[in-house]
Amino acid sequence: MDEKNLENIYLLFSRVIKLRLCKMRDMFEDLGIYPGQHGLLFALEKEEGQSQKELAQKLNIKPATITVTINRMKKSGLVERKQDKNDQRVSRVYLTNQGKAVCKKVRKAMKTIDEQCFENFSKEQQNILIELLSQMEENLASSCNTEECFFNNYKKNKISEE
């Protein structure tokens, strides 16, 4: 692929990601959450009672970041911490009723964004895009060979979720 096409692809990737984040920020602001918090809501919706360490690993973020996120969401009434019954050193994180309600609204907002993003795509075009992006991801992820690499953790989580 020539250099000009590569520049156009990277520019398009960047613009699509920024536009999606902008839409998320606008919709999430109305729900009282920050863009990075939806991943935590979804992780807890899927499996409540995870430790902060488990959540940080699954979401591929640093433990300090997960602590700040949980504290902020706790203050907003979306999550609560409870001590582990078997190990008092570990606190487990749960969605509150308010958190569960917000999570449903966030899912609906994400669906709206996705529908808007793909409104002019046929099902076949969506599948081709998924295949192409998945191949690009695999090409790049295969060269990540350090434990610190985000995508090494992502690949492990992706495989374990299937």
pTM score, whole prediction: 0.77
For residue range 13-28, list pLDDT tens digits in order: 999 999 999 999 999 9
Architecture of domain 3-120: Orthogonal Bundle (1.10)
Q: In this predicted model, which residue has the larger pLDDT, 98 or 1?
A: 98
Spatial distance between the Cα atoms of 135 and 68, rounded to a whole number of angstroms: 34
H or E segment and range at residue 80: strand 79-83
For residue range 48-87, list pLDDT tens digits in order: 999 999 999 999 899 999 999 999 999 999 999 999 899 9
Residues 6+ apart with CB under 8 A from 140: 151
Spatial distance between the Cα atoms of 129 and 118, rounded to a whole number of angstroms: 11
List residues bridging with 93 in a β-sheet: 50, 81
For residue range 137-150, list pLDDT tens digits in order: 888 888 776 555 65
Q: Is the pLDDT of residue 127 over 80?
A: yes
Q: Is the pLDDT of residue 45 over 60?
A: yes
In this predicted structure, what is the pLDDT of residue 22?
Answer: 93
Spatial distance between the Cα atoms of 45 and 59, rounded to a whole number of angstroms: 13
For residue range 101-116, list pLDDT tens digits in order: 999 999 999 999 999 9
Q: Beta strand 91-95 with 79-83: parallel, antiparallel or unpaired? A: antiparallel
Domain ranges of the chain: 3-120
Number of Cβ within 10 Å of residue 143's Cβ equals 8
